[in-house]
Amino acid sequence: MYLTMLAVENDMKVVEVPITFNRLIDKSKLRANEKLRGIKIGLSFLWFVITY
C-alpha cells in the first residue's frame, strides 16, 4: 500500500496485473513421512534461532 501511494504521489503509472489461479483437485502429493521430516526440520531451525 505504501509503495502504491508513493508511486501516485510521484505521478507514476500504477497498473494491476491479473493472476490466474487453478485450484488443485487431487490430494497433496506429500506423504506422512515427508510431513514428519518437514516438522523435524522446522523444529530444528526454530531451536537454532532460539539458542543463537
Per-residue pLDDT tens listing for the chain (52 residues): 888 888 889 999 888 899 998 877 766 666 666 788 888 999 999 998 898 7
Rounded mean pLDDT of the chain? Answer: 83
Using only C-alpha atoms, the chain has a radius of gyration, in whole angstroms, of 21
pLDDT at 31: 64
pTM to 2 decimals? 0.38
Measured torsion, CA atoms of residues 31, 34, 36, 37, in degrees rounded to the nearest 10 = 180
pLDDT at 30: 60
